[in-house]
Amino acid sequence: MADLLSVPHSLSQKIRELIPKSKVLVVGAGGIGCEVLKNLALSGFQEIEIIDLDTIDVSNLNRQFLFRKEHVGKSKAVVARESILSYNPDINIKAYHDSVMSQDYGVNFFKRFRLVLNALDNRAARNHVNRMCLAADVPLIESGTSGYSGQVELIKKGVTQCYECQPKPPQRSFPGCTIRNTPSEPVHCIVWAKHLFNQLFGEEDPDQDVSPDTEDPEAKVDGEHSVTDTGNIKRTSTRQWAQEINYDPQKLFDKFFKADIEYLLSMENLWKTRKPPVPLSWQQAASHSGDGEMEDESDIRTTDMKVWPLSKCAKVFASTISQLKTDLADRNFLVWDKDDKPAMDFVTACANIRAQIFSIQQKSRFEIKSIAGNIIPAIATANAMIAGLVVLHAFRVLNEEYEKCPAVYLRKKSVHSKFILAADKQVSIANPSCYVCSPKPFVNVFVNVEAMTVKEFENELLKKHLNMVAPDVVLDGKGVVVISSEEGEMQANDDKQLIELGIVDGSILKCDDFLQNYELTVAVNQYEAKEKDDPLYKVVANKDELKAKEPANGKENGVDNNQNDGNDESDDDLMLIEYDEEDPQEGSSSKKRRINPPQDNDEDDDLCVIED
Amino acid sequence: MSSPSPKSPEQSDKSKKYDRQLRLWGDHGQRLLENSKVCLINATALGTEILKSLVLPGIGSFTIVDGEKISEEDIGSNFFLENDSIGLSRAQVATQSLLELNPDVRGDYIDESPEHVMAHTQDFFNKFTVVIATALPEKRFSSDAKLVAVSVNDKSGVATLTLQRPPVNSLNLELLTDISSGLTEIEKAKCRGVILTSSAESVFSAGLDIFEVYKPNPERLNHFWKVLQDTWLKLYGFPYATVAVINGHAPAGGCLLALSCEYRIMSKNYTIGLNETQLGLVAPKWFIASMRNVIGQRQSELALTAGRLFKTDEALSLGLVDEVVDNKEEGISKAEQFLSRFRNIAPEVRGMTKQLVREDTIKDLMKTREQDLNTFVQYALNPKVQEYLEKYMQALKTKVLIPLSRHLWDAQVPLVVCRSIGFLGYIRLQVKEHTVIETHPDSENPDLRLDKPWPALKEHLDSINVATLDQKTRSHIPAIVILYYYLNKYKEFHDGNVPRTRAEKDVLRKMIRDSPIPDEHGVKVLEENFEEAIHYVNTCLNPQTIPSNVQTILDDDSCINLTQNSSPFWVMCAALRELVQSEGALPVSGSLPDMAADTNSYITLQQLYYKQAQLQAEAVFRRASQIARNLGLPQDIITESEVKLFCKHANELHLIRGCCIADEYERTSLDLTSYLEDPDSLMFYYITLRGLERFISEFNTYPGQFDDQVEPDVLKLKSIISKLLSEWNCSHALRDERVHEVCRYGGAELHSVSAILGGCAAHEVIKLITHQYKPLNNAFFYDAITSNSATFCL
Ligand SMILES: [Zn+2]
């Protein structure tokens, strides 16, 4: 009973006895994770395990208080463990510097815990842990913050909804032709610039082509197939060509910003209702005058905040290329990182040059970093509050008081300040047609069976969208194995269209993920993208939802929080905030709710006890 | 060729470290943060959690004021106090741990109580940007570490023993012990004489600490009296010459100390006397003897039986004091003069003589010590005596929160008071006046002024005839131009009115939608920029009005009647007011949303908005500078960049005028009816917390702090709360379970609750420091059982 001494007295006797013997898993040692670990340690928890793949970055130090400058580059999980032990060496705490999505952490791993606490930064891992906890039937407390906002909710099989019960707004992605041919917003240029980085220095990805897209449906003239064939440029890869010319900045510049643009101009249909782009040569850009010099080049804050003039963009383009070329020399490829100076400078310069060409507003490096890095502002205060709420929920969960754990929200503003922290009136119940937690998970997918390959189906749909890790897929009724989780077993199918395997409108696929202990029935519906902005495929749990609203526009609040071009480059504590039309003033249970209530009349509706 | 790299790597590191938060409050907010000085009173778990969330984002410096020593309970709830630090200064250990979090932040500490600090350095707290206080009681009985200061003047050989137990040098066990050991120290130093005086401004000593006698622990009471006897014996029979410099009131035990010296010098206009009978006490025999030996049997009898306190001049004529002076300094020098009388007398001879004179009085006590003790103890435990004391008590307590709150209110330093107890949390912001330029509203509609364009904009917009443009130009003009054009067309048909209702706006939308000329197939293709124009109909045509909260600011007395003390904010407001009066509208914000258009026409338009904003901002700047000059304010108080920011955000200016906590506590009526009808109202917590504060002040413990006292404490707290409610003329009663709940916590902090509250308080402090975002106004309650919170304007 000596353990009990370290458990707070104000808790009930039963909870006090449960705390020291309950083993908990903390997933993520970032902003919330650090705070959660501290709170657990100070609440008398004795058996803690922590898993995080990340290493410590300088930009973590403004809030992840278990880390110091000398820890930069080290494993978050390992350093967090050491910091907690230096406060209380008697706690049993185990650290894994690893991805929670790794095959090493199966259902049996999760079953060892009384409780799992998520302090994650991305949706894929959240979905995965959600499924693991459902499969292991372990309660999960899910949390996230974004700037001044945040939320905490309990996920318990059979009691509450799961993390995937409500469809989340899709992470914003852009059709390839918008990026390659007809950008109209700064973000399009920024995504293009990131793709260009990967083409030149990163891991090559055919989906990230930066050259003009001749297959753009809009560019097609009625009756004809396309304007020309692939043009006069030989189809060697961009990387190969860049290496051949030894990354000559002028040649690269003239190709991407002059030749390619001239080629785009030749696709006349595109420019009927659009302002055509203006090709820009290296000569023009480098000698561009009239944009004035930057005031103080040495002040990082100035260079970060101000929009670079064109001539500076050209200069930076050249200098970063030679830097990145050197960096590439002893490696196979570079990984783009918003916190890596040459990589970030390169994207800033390229995005702004392209913006200039397409008459799109240029942005400062600071702004571009936000968008390119999908940076969610983060501060210590919000993390502290949310982590406190997580551990209070944990107490109730230990006592099996699940119904006393409704979702709690932290609101950005104190305008409607009666509820800076507001709790739902009750726990949210599961969506009966949820394709994850319902007894017989089922989902409709809309794909073009004549165009989509098996590989695309697996990567885009099953893995990226439905978040499976290693699916086995069988065509129902026929027993045809479409996809196997065994490496290489069904590789021959990869490049076949779905239809070649007999998958047509109305087919049923049985998809099984052994790791997640998750079986999903997929009904296939034939669908062809018609409009330029139509997605390649759709996933709908319940057919009635088909008419549901379009994906939430990521531009609410003027902050493009949800912008993402597909690669998950999000910073920690990313939380996708959902919007709907409900009155946020009601503390009642709701499926989804606004984190930021609309701003209207000030504090007027605050209670005023005394009039002076 | 290499890319420009920043001059100092440190600076770039800093912006890297703070990258994620710069996105919330920008460089200028960060600069204010980095220049801020934060004071934390009491390094409780809540206190350190708040400071943690301020040190991490990089405040300039912090100071912890805390006189407590680290207890076992502290260790259990506070992450920043290490296991092996029990008994050490809480301020010191917390400061060291917090400094490790961020090398950019400076920190120091004072291991004294805030009331001690206030008593000694009146303006200490004025230098801070914000003061945060946790677990600070309304009133308390002071407990201080160093109660006596001993100094020896090596030249003159005179020792000074200064009583310094704020506020009134009440003689408690600790102070007496310290006096006694101070005398021992002086004795060893072989001095020529001792001056006994006080550090308090108007009190020599208020006498025995009634807290020692009031509801005493019998054991301590015994011990206390014995130490008092010892101290008196020591002082009375002290071998060296003794002088009391009575620089303030000296009732009861204070008078006894003075009478035990050989010579008394008293400042004017104070009082002195053995007034025990007034307090319902009988002065012990040795008290009486001390007086009789100075002023004689007859005068002593008269004074003692009436419990009289004498004014300084009365005391002089009675012989109770020997000299009268204007102030303490003069008193000290007179005392030194007195001591110098013995310069030519052998100290041993002097000492022995004194001893012989005083021998009988001392022997009297020595003989009856045990009996004297018993009489006293019996007497003190008499319920009647306790009743008398109860009344006297309240007046002797040190008010802590109230004077601090008043002081900071007058000094215009924001005060944040927080408490975390069990599952309950409370934050109260006290700001006399707080102004915000950037409130960061959730959504901002573009400020386009299409209903009332200024001449240059009107001229430009009028010059474009959208209907006659060729296909190519048409698709390149900015949406605003299109919107303006069709708005004018609309107005032509609607008596010059702009569309306001949804239906009216639909008419305008239709006009734009129908505008394209059909192509060869008869299909109207709507260009992207026209789509945008339709989109802007909803948000961009609202007539430009001055928001009521901004109008209130412009009509505020501080804006109209500027003084030399006016802040830059008000000077800018006054200048803005003049602009608004002449132009009928706030300055244009100057930024244009992104829109599909060719670069030239977009930039032309952008420049028009930008220039107008510049012109207006410059006008406001010139006017503000002139106003500042006329007021005699320093020239650099108004900067152009700040005026630009101010004008850009003119429609979101925000002002808070708070309420002083002292006023809140001293108020006598409170209408709670509307809240108390709702059984779930968190207003109940306000009442509970006020009851709790009063409980702590009255009993010096938290309700339920001792396991065996929970039930009695529930009763006590209930009666306190019903008294409070009746003081406020409120007829409601508080539900019993709430009182039970609070008593069950026993004053303990639950770390997770403190973490939540700490984040929340730090949040508000950042808002106060950066002058961005609206801070909460003014009290926040959090109930961790239901996870709900509420804000009240108290
Ligand atoms: Zn579900």
Range with lowest mean pLDDT among A416-430, A459-473, B289-303: A416-430
Range with lowest mean pLDDT among A175-184, B189-198, B401-410, B658-667: A175-184
User: Residue A74 has what pLDDT?
Assistant: 94
B66 has a pLDDT exceeding 90: yes
Q: Which residues of A touch B596 (CB under 8 A)?
A: 184, 274-275
Look up residue A337 and give its amino acid.
Answer: D
User: Pick from B162, B159, B146, B164: which is nearest to B186 by CA?
Assistant: B159
Range with lowest mean pLDDT among A408-422, B78-92, B478-492: A408-422
**Is A162 assigned a ligand-binding role in the annotation?**
yes
Do residues A324 and A237 both lie within one domain?
A: yes
Do residues A521 and A415 both lie within one domain?
A: no
Residue B425 sits at the chain A interface (C-beta within 8 Å): no
**Is A31 assigned a ligand-binding role in the annotation?**
yes
Distance from CA of B203 to the nearest CA of A (A): 37
**A247, part of any domain:** yes
Smallest CA–CA distance from A340 into chain B, residue: B16
Do residues A288 and A163 both lie within one domain?
A: no
Sign of CA dihedral A541, A543, A545, A551: positive
Paired tokens of A203: 């891991």
d(CA A532, CA A222): 16
**Is A123 assigned a ligand-binding role in the annotation?**
yes
Paired tokens of B140: 């308390």
- Cα B311 to ligand 1 centroid, rounded to whole Å: 83
User: Pick from B399, B303, B414: which is nearest to B765 by CA?
Assistant: B414
| Per-residue b or e along B13-33, where b marks 16 or more CB atoms closer than 10 Å to that residue's CB | bbbbbbbbbbbbbbebbbebb
Do residues A20 and A92 both lie within one domain?
A: yes
Contact indicator for A141, A390 with CB cutoff of 8 Å:
yes
User: Residue A584 has what pLDDT?
Assistant: 32
**A141, part of any domain:** yes
Q: Which residues of A touch B475 (CB under 8 A)?
A: 273-275
Do residues A414 and A300 both lie within one domain?
A: no
- Give the structural domain span for A340: 186-359
**Mean predicted lDDT score pLDDT of chain B:** 87
Query: Does residue B437 sit in helix, strand or coil?
Result: coil
The answer for residues whose C-beta is within 8 angstroms of residue B265's C-beta and 6 or more apart is: B243, B244, B245, B246, B321, B322, B323, B324, B325, B331, B334, B335, B338
User: Residue B201 has what pLDDT?
Assistant: 79
Window 509-568 of B: residues touching A by CB (8 A cutoff) are 525, 527-528, 549
- Angle, CA A352 vertex, CA A350 and CA A356 arms, to 5°: 120
Tell me how long chain A is.
Answer: 612
Look up residue A121 and give its amino acid.
Answer: D
**Is A437 assigned a ligand-binding role in the annotation?**
yes
- Report the pLDDT averaged over residues B190-203: 86
Do residues A453 and A352 both lie within one domain?
A: no
Label residue B716 by pLDDT band (50, 70, 90).
Answer: confident
d(CA A498, CA B616): 64
Contact indicator for B614, B590 with CB cutoff of 8 Å:
yes
| Interchain contact, A419 vs B667, CB within 8 Å | no
The DSSP secondary-structure symbol of A170 reads P
Query: Does residue A173 sit in helix, strand or coil?
Result: coil
Tally of CA atoms within 13 A in the half-sphere of B704 that contains its CB: 21
Label residue A62 by pLDDT band (50, 70, 90).
Answer: confident
User: Residue B12 has what pLDDT?
Assistant: 58
| Interchain contact, A387 vs B20, CB within 8 Å | no
Q: How many CB pairs under 8 A join A and B?
A: 279
Window 651-670 of B: residues touching A by CB (8 A cutoff) are 659, 664, 667, 670
Smallest CA–CA distance from A416 into chain B, residue: B791
* B606 phi/psi in degrees, rounded to 5: -60, -40
- Cα B115 to ligand 1 centroid, rounded to whole Å: 57
- Report the pLDDT averaged over residues B10-36: 80
CATH code of the domain made up of B148-396: 3.90.226.10
Do residues A203 and A115 both lie within one domain?
A: no
Smallest CA–CA distance from A556 into chain B, residue: B443
- Cα A521 to ligand 1 centroid, rounded to whole Å: 15
Contact indicator for B599, A276 with CB cutoff of 8 Å:
no
**A594, part of any domain:** no
| Interchain contact, A417 vs B780, CB within 8 Å | yes
- Cα A548 to ligand 1 centroid, rounded to whole Å: 18
Report, in this order, helix, strand and coil percent for chain B, each rounded to 5: 55, 15, 35
- Cα A430 to ligand 1 centroid, rounded to whole Å: 6
User: Residue B394 has what pLDDT?
Assistant: 56
Paired tokens of A47: 């058996």
What total of structural domains would you count in chain A?
3
Catalytic member of B115, B138, B174, B276: B276
Cα separation of the two ends of chain A: 55
Smallest CA–CA distance from B762 into chain A, residue: A381
User: Residue A108 has what pLDDT?
Assistant: 94
- Report the pLDDT averaged over residues A254-282: 86
Query: Does residue B298 sit in helix, strand or coil?
Result: helix
CA A307 to chain centre: 27
User: Residue A212 has what pLDDT?
Assistant: 82
Residue B444 sits at the chain A interface (C-beta within 8 Å): yes
Q: Tell me, yes or no, if B275 is annotated catalytic.
A: yes
Distance from CA of A206 to the nearest CA of B (A): 30
User: Residue B141 has what pLDDT?
Assistant: 54
Smallest CA–CA distance from B741 into chain A, residue: A10
- Quote the percentage of chain B above a pLDDT of 90: 44
Distance from CA of B447 to the nearest CA of A (A): 15
| Interchain contact, B759 vs A380, CB within 8 Å | yes
The pLDDT tens digits for A527-576 are 887 765 667 788 887 665 554 333 333 333 332 333 333 333 333 333 33
Contact indicator for A145, A64 with CB cutoff of 8 Å:
no
Residue B336 sits at the chain A interface (C-beta within 8 Å): no
| Interchain contact, B759 vs A69, CB within 8 Å | no
The pLDDT tens digits for B107-143 are 999 988 888 888 778 789 999 999 999 988 877 655 4
d(CA B202, CA B267): 9
Label residue B288 by pLDDT band (50, 70, 90).
Answer: very high
Q: Which residues of A touch B750 (CB under 8 A)?
A: 8, 10-11
Q: Which residues of A touch B23 (CB under 8 A)?
A: 147, 370, 375, 377
Does the N-terminal peptide bond of residue B547 adopt cis geometry, omega within 30 degrees of 0?
no
Kindly tell me the burial class for residue A427, based on how many C-beta atoms sit within 10 Å of its own C-beta (0-12, 13-18, 19 or more). Answer: buried
Contact indicator for B436, B774 with CB cutoff of 8 Å:
yes
Paired tokens of A85: 């032990």
* B679 phi/psi in degrees, rounded to 5: -65, -20
Q: What is the dihedral of CA A298, A301, A306, A307, to 10 degrees?
A: 80
Distance from CA of B424 to the nearest CA of A (A): 11
Do residues A284 and A207 both lie within one domain?
A: yes
Q: At what angle do helices B218-236 and B347-381 cross, to 10 degrees?
A: 160
- Report the pLDDT averaged over residues B519-526: 76
CATH number at residue A312: 1.10.10.520
State the pTM of this model: 0.74
CA A451 to chain centre: 27
Domain-terminating residue out of A540, A560, A582 = A540
User: Residue B291 has what pLDDT?
Assistant: 94
Label residue B32 by pLDDT band (50, 70, 90).
Answer: very high
Does the N-terminal peptide bond of residue B778 adopt cis geometry, omega within 30 degrees of 0?
yes
Q: Which residues of A touch B21 (CB under 8 A)?
A: 62-63, 377-379
- Cα A568 to ligand 1 centroid, rounded to whole Å: 23
CA A445 to chain centre: 22
Do residues A127 and A202 both lie within one domain?
A: no
**Is A176 assigned a ligand-binding role in the annotation?**
no
CB atoms within 10 A of CB A490: 18
Contact indicator for B441, A599 with CB cutoff of 8 Å:
yes
Q: Which residues of B touch A154 (CB under 8 A)?
A: none
**Mean predicted lDDT score pLDDT of chain A:** 79
Q: Which residues of A touch B520 (CB under 8 A)?
A: none
d(CA A77, CA A93): 10
Distance from CA of A491 to the nearest CA of B (A): 43
A interface mutation test: which of B1, B3, B765 has the most A CBs within 10 A?
B3
User: Pick from A74, A79, A68, A133: which is nearest to A106 by CA?
Assistant: A133
d(CA B53, CA B99): 12
Find the DSSP H helices in B632-750: 640-648, 661-666, 673-676, 683-699, 710-727, 736-745
Q: Tell me, yes or no, if A177 is annotated catalytic.
A: yes
- Report the pLDDT averaged over residues B604-631: 92
Q: Where do we find the tokens 């970060």?
A: A304
Do residues A354 and A419 both lie within one domain?
A: no
| Interchain contact, A147 vs B24, CB within 8 Å | yes
The ipTM value here is 0.75
Structural domain spans, chain B: 148-396, 455-654
Window 668-687 of B: residues touching A by CB (8 A cutoff) are 670-672, 675, 683
- Report the pLDDT averaged over residues A95-114: 94
- Cα A429 to ligand 1 centroid, rounded to whole Å: 9
DSSP letters of B254-299? HHHHHHHSSEEEEETT-EEE--GGGGT----HHHHHHHHHHH-HHH
Paired tokens of B318: 């009675």
User: Residue B710 has what pLDDT?
Assistant: 80
| Interchain contact, B791 vs A414, CB within 8 Å | yes
- Angle, CA B743 vertex, CA B737 and CA B745 arms, to 5°: 110
Residue B756 sits at the chain A interface (C-beta within 8 Å): yes
Do residues A301 and A386 both lie within one domain?
A: no
| Per-residue b or e along B451-475, where b marks 16 or more CB atoms closer than 10 Å to that residue's CB | eebbeebeebbeebebeebeeeebb
CATH number at residue A97: 3.40.50.720
Query: Does residue B729 sit in helix, strand or coil?
Result: coil
DSSP run (H or E) holding A143: strand A140-146
Do residues A159 and A26 both lie within one domain?
A: yes
| Interchain contact, A39 vs B751, CB within 8 Å | yes
User: Residue B793 has what pLDDT?
Assistant: 83
For residue A563, the cross-strand partners are A172
**CA dist B688 → B358, B402, B703, B720 (Å):** 57, 19, 12, 10
